[in-house]
A and B are shown apart, each in its own frame.
Chain A
Amino acid sequence: MGKYIEMIRVRFLMMLAYRTNYYSGILIYSINIGAYYFLWNAIYGGKGEIEGLSVIQMTTYVAVAWMARAFYFNNIDREIAQEIKEGKVAVEFIRPYHYLLMKTMQGLGEGIFRLSFFSIPGMIIVSLIFPIEFSAAFSTWMFFVIAIILSFIVNTQINLLTGVMTFFFFNNDGLIRAKRVVIDLFSGLLLPISFYPGWAQNVMDFLPFQAISYIPSMIFTEGFTGSAVWEAILFQLVWAVILILPIQALWVIAKKRLIVQGG
């Protein structure tokens, strides 16, 4: 286990090595939150609430969704694809660890870095500029922590799945880009799931994407209360377990048919 924790630390150091990315990231996220704040204000107009969310809850939802994204978001699908294309994956196979687990830990290192140097300071700045409501209840915070950990797991699993597919397609930039749009749209980052038409909501109940952004944001804004919170976390947990199967299956097949490109 020590080696996986060490990997988190190493990724942390790597993030520090590229500080410019970090500063520009803060700027981009602030612009996004600002833009959505004004957009939603215009949509709400004089209305008190839409689909059960008040305008303040909506602003909080947007801010939290973007800040949580900083934690769960990572580029490990792109990294895996690149390592396969360049043949670097050969080096990973001669190390005594599980490649995908190591990649997950790198994602986690990145997530923790962004959460502590990016989301938390960013959230403080945003709350000074825009009216945002923080819950005082301890249980809400606790559920939120559980929810974003699970959303990290589900998002990372989807990334691993996309990344491992490079073994079969050799070049899957298109798939990676499509995945990114699908996640931003269906995870509830841009629009809460409750705003979608009924049939679309039904379809999305059978897809893992809302576990990524919609659930933690709804828990934080207290859009979910009581048993709905438990159901939402159960939903995330079930998907986290289900997604292990295709990843493991693809990984076993991929290892068998591995062709190291170049050299």
Chain B
Amino acid sequence: MEKVIDVQSLRKDFKSHSSRSGLKGAFRDLFTRNYKVISAVKDISFTVNEGEMVGYIGENGAGKSTSIKMLTGILTPTSGIVRVNGMDPHKEREKFVRSIGVVFGQRSQLWWDIAVQESFRLLKKVYNVPDDVYNEHMNHVIESLDIGPLLDKPVRKLSLGQRMRCELAAALLHNPKLLFLDEPTIGLDVLVKLKIRNFLKEINEKYKTTILLTTHDLTDIEALCDRVVMLDEGQIIYDGELAKLRSNWGEGKQIEFQFGEQVSGEQLQPLLKELEAEWTKGDRENVWIANVVNEEHVISEVIGRVVAANRITDIKIHEISTEEIIRNIYEEGMRNG
């Protein structure tokens, strides 16, 4: 399969000056400055094939945005090789950017003071899209994103959800092979999120558009991506299937018991003897959680023993959410690092 993104030991260092403290320090800063080199991205390598939808996740400051900016040619790498759509993003900028679409959730790409359709018209000229291609493609996009009624309104009068759908349409106007989405669903309500997700799935199927998605909302990743690349402190700490991530880290279930009477840890401990399970105290009174492996006989054994020995008012069984898994990985990562 064709490689759309090919990154080899990519690195970005920023030089930033650190201010000295106090008034005396401020005067000294006028003449000489202390510089510190900070590596935002440390020698990462990965490839993305055509038609893949990849979730690119990490905490704030993990280096996601910096690497996306290098992939889109906005920033120059300090070292390493980047090939996207078979081109060097920085060297062949004008030709390269015609082959990609970008949505930055936190910045608008549309012109603030003019109607959405005027922005579209300008972008159509900028990307040299012929009329017939534009009409066929954009009519479809406008219909699926349901933005027809918004076209004659100036961007500043749109709500966030409306604007985001227009941004997405603008990014897809030239039908790019590769789409970068940097937090596209930030601050959006559930309905708009669903609409955007369905739309992304549809274009991925229809045009085999490759999508690289960064987000803090893991439900986006779960709904769209089969593969995740996880960054921490500028390094890739996981690259692989989302399902595998779940099965490696998210083994087991949590059984939450609400007891009818006061119970203590010592009282409960013998109930889990010889089973792969342990107790943690819940956040409410008389609530205890049994963390167990995801095996049928263990789960039923635990429930059977607890119910036989105590009075129970409520039982809930939780699967560990992706969010928790990610949190575990980061906490683990920090402890190990």
Chain A residues in the interface with B (C-beta under 8 A): 2-3, 6-7, 10, 13-14, 17-18, 87-88, 90-91, 93-98, 255-256, 258-260, 263
Please tell me if B241 contacts chain A, counting CB pairs below 8 Å. no
Tell me which residues across on chain B come within 8 A of A10, comparing CB atoms. 111, 114, 118, 122
Please tell me if B121 contacts chain A, counting CB pairs below 8 Å. yes
Question: Which one of B14, B113, B118 has the greatest number of beta carbons of chain A within 10 Å?
Answer: B113
Query: How many A-B contacts are there with CB distance less than 8 Å?
Result: 73
- Partner of A14 from B73, B100, B111 at Cβ < 8 Å: B111
Tell me which residues across on chain B come within 8 A of A96, comparing CB atoms. 93-95, 97-98, 126-127
Report the Cα distance A95→B111, complex, angstroms.
Answer: 13
| Interface locus among B21-29, B102-110, B277-285, B289-297 | B102-110
CB-based contact A94/B113 at 8 Å: no
- Partner of B74 from A2, A7, A17, A90 at Cβ < 8 Å: A90
Closest 4 CB pairs of A and B: A6-B125, A3-B126, A3-B125, A17-B113
CB-based contact A6/B94 at 8 Å: no
CB-based contact A91/B118 at 8 Å: no
Report the Cα distance A14→B154, complex, angstroms.
Answer: 10
Tell me which residues across on chain A come within 8 A of B114, comparing CB atoms. 10, 13-14, 17
Question: In this complex, what residue of A is CB-closest to B76?
Answer: A256
Please tell me if B307 contacts chain A, counting CB pairs below 8 Å. no
Contact with A along B117-135 (1 / 0, CB 8 A): 0100110011110000000
CB-based contact A94/B100 at 8 Å: yes
Q: Name 6 extra pairs, CB < 8 A, besides A94-B100, A96-B93.
A: A6-B122, A87-B107, A91-B102, A91-B109, A96-B95, A97-B126
CB-based contact A2/B113 at 8 Å: no
Report the Cα distance A141→B3, complex, angstroms.
Answer: 60
Tell me which residues across on chain B come within 8 A of A263, comparing CB atoms. 65, 104, 106-107
Give me 9 A-to-B residue pairs in the complex whose CB atoms sit less than 8 angstroms apart, sorted by A's number. Answer: A2-B125, A2-B128, A3-B122, A10-B122, A13-B113, A91-B104, A94-B72, A258-B74, A259-B14
Report the Cα distance A3→B14, complex, angstroms.
Answer: 35
Given A96-B126, A263-B65: A6 and B121 within 8 A (CB)? yes
Report the Cα distance A86→B108, complex, angstroms.
Answer: 11
- Partner of A94 from B73, B76, B122, B154 at Cβ < 8 Å: B73
Report the Cα distance A260→B182, complex, angstroms.
Answer: 15
